[in-house]
Amino acid sequence: MEASVEQLVYVREDEYTVARMTDEQGAGFVATGRALAGVQPGETLRLTGEWGEHARHGRRFQVATCERVVPSTVRAIQLYLGSGLIRGIGPRLAQAIVSHFGDSTLTVIDTEPGRLTEVVNIGPARQAQIVEAWREQKEIAALMVVLQGYGISPLLAAKIYQVYGSDSAGILKSDPYQLIGQVRGIAFHTADRIALRSGVSERSPQRIRAAILDRLESAAASGGHCYLSMTALLTQTAELIDQDQDLLRPVIDALTAERRIVVEAAPDQVVVYSKELHSREVKLAEQLARLWQARSTLPMRDFREDPDLHDDQRAAVTMALTSTVSVLTGGPGCGKSHTVRAIAATARAMGGRVTLAAPTGKAAKRLSELTGLQAMTVHRMLAHEPDPDALFDQVPAQADLIVVDEASMLDLHLATRLCSAVPSGSHLLLVGDSDQLPSIGPGSVLSDLLRAEEIPRVRLTHVFRQADGSGIVRNAHRIRSGELPAIPGGGGFWFEEVDTPEAVAERVVHLATVAIPRKQRVDPGQVQVLCPMRRGAAGTAELGRMIQERLNPARDGQPEHWSGASVFRVGDRVMPIRNNYDKGVFNGETGTVTRIDQEQRQVELVIDDGDPVTYGFDELDDLTHAYAISVHRSQGSEYPFVVAPIVAEAGGIMLRRRLLYTLVTRARSWVVLVGDRRALELAVARLGRPRNTMLTRRLTQTLQ
């Protein structure tokens, strides 16, 4: 049958889709199946399949094949044009165009686009916008057909077109490996399937090159590693492409000669870096050595020691004011923020200029709240945009002391940018909890510096009385030491034992949306769900969907937009997951969707600091919903109430001591863990694998 898509009801991560449809006679029905992947409201489809009866949802058409066709009836054409698929045309303008041209509308747009100006409210600029959008949609639709021929998800068509435009089909045919790292969602396996079906040999040097670079990139992206040992690289690459290791060595030599990779001798092994990560690690060691060796510019007048400080806090003040590079670390309740405030106040009293910063907006805001001093993100500090009304100097070149909090979040890229911007003679103090998770990006900068004996450091260990009564603080220190948390924990720490991942998910959602808000008389927005994993019944994707359906469900007459398996609605809490310097938004900030403009194909949101931001529909991969987020993405933030699933689903691969410790320390008042006691024991027992870095070794060699 032929039918038009009226509304998407549900899209699962495996692309299983449920859609409301209307057939050619105007009768409505529900269609389901993975063959519907990527369809959008307004499209006309030719479907094959069979009718079935669902126990809960009734009669449905189970789709076996789906082909996009040009809508032919006046109603289908108006639905297509008014759906937002063609930028520049909304429902009212669609009605006007179809009223004027009837069932010849699409033929006119395709072959006589100049006639569009016959319609009221369409001038030359709007006409050009419509023609360009129409051309793009035709090319994307053709690209979907090409991808389906390769057995690849049609959802990738728009992403490929966004990068390569009209050259997309040609690149798919000539060099599909070029897409890796350029198009989000395309990793080696996808590009390799296209290449092999296009006739590329399994033993092709082009294929082997792509596989080697993919293994290095994957090690950095998923494990945070700066390098792989030669042995691991050969083994992983050979397994990836199912070829003998002997084929790999000439290609590694060629990549080394081209300076795409760096092969380096390390103690007891040979290691391989991507060129970029090797350059950054070397540069970071050089910049840290430059700062460490420089003569201080901080005025050294006599200063009074604060009698309210503990001994190790006083040692930290002295260290920060006398060492040009130093590290302050310690767990929750040990007074890091109070110490930072004392350091900044003393430096200013001596005539020094001070800048406080943190890797994310939330971390900077929290630093400001805890210290009573102004702070900003590292990104904004490095953007060289000083505020003339600021209490503190914002540009590194103007500061005698730069304090960076939540330094465990600094990856190799950001740490290198930061240290390169700090002038010689300025003091750089990195503050963080080294027992938390390392950065999302590659490297382990804070831990590496703590292993470099030449770099001064102070670890705060004294837990102050006001924090000692907190079950969160007490159990965080137990977890850090490898002990199970006390259950019942009291003092804001709770553990609920629930058997299955599905039951855990239901309980977590109830706690987050009903039980805690009702008991504490707070808005559900004050409760944050944190997850060790993304996938599974108790992962961020499924829990986020469930919470969204309870707090912000679909409403008749209200616009929404599906991007892959995510639906965006006005009122949704969202989080940018990539830095975008043009928009002025950074990974880890949160915001609220305020408008969905289907005519211009964009989502408008307001970041929590009040700045409005616009994302095109083709940029929504840069946003994730914030109803349930990963523990990694919560770093630098603190929430009044935290609820978290603790399950051993899929082997509990992400359950590690650092992850559990980081999760628990994100809560200010309450943390409720829901799940399997065995999974909790597993998380405490597992230390996790250290990241492959050589920053400590390089820094030590440079400073000796």
- Binding site, residues? 333-337
Neighbours of 194 (CB within 10 A): 23
User: Is the Cα dihedral 372, 377, 382, 384 positive or negative?
Assistant: negative
- Are 543 and 645 in contact, with CB atoms under 8 Å apart? yes
Quick one: tokens of 223?
A: 């494990």
Give 160's DSSP letter: H
CA 380/CA 384 separation, integer angstroms: 7
Quick one: tokens of 234?
A: 């050969």
Quick one: tokens of 6?
A: 């009226």
CA 616/CA 628 separation, integer angstroms: 23
CA 396/CA 355 separation, integer angstroms: 7
Alpha helix positions (H), 150-187: 156-164, 168-174
Query: Where does residue 205 fall: left (phi above 0), alpha (psi -120 to 50 degrees), or beta otherwise?
Result: alpha
- Are 569 and 554 in contact, with CB atoms under 8 Å apart? yes
Bridge-based pairing of strands 566-569 and 457-460 is: unpaired
Q: Kindly list the distances between the CA atom of residue 527 and the CA atoms of 151, 286, 367, 534, 629, in Å, as whole numbers in the listed order.
A: 42, 43, 21, 19, 12
User: Is the Cα dihedral 549, 551, 557, 561 positive or negative?
Assistant: negative
What amino acid occupies position 10? Y
Give 539's DSSP letter: S
Q: Which of 199, 183, 204, 197 is nearest to 146 (CA)?
A: 197
User: Is the Cα dihedral 235, 240, 244, 248 positive or negative?
Assistant: negative
- Are 370 and 336 in contact, with CB atoms under 8 Å apart? no
Buried b / exposed e over 424-447, threshold 16 CB at 10 Å, is eebbbbbbbbbbbbbbbbbbbbbb
- Are 544 and 508 in contact, with CB atoms under 8 Å apart? no
Q: What is the DSSP string of 565-604?
A: TEEEETT-EEEE-S-BTTTTB-TT--EEEEEEETTTTEEE
CA 13/CA 645 separation, integer angstroms: 20
- In residues, how long is the chain? 704
Alpha helix positions (H), 325-392: 336-349, 361-371, 378-382
CA 401/CA 353 separation, integer angstroms: 6
- Are 508 and 498 in contact, with CB atoms under 8 Å apart? no
Binding residues for ATP: 333-337
58 beta partners: 54
Strands (E), 282-348: 325-330
- Are 81 and 39 in contact, with CB atoms under 8 Å apart? no
- Are 254 and 248 in contact, with CB atoms under 8 Å apart? no
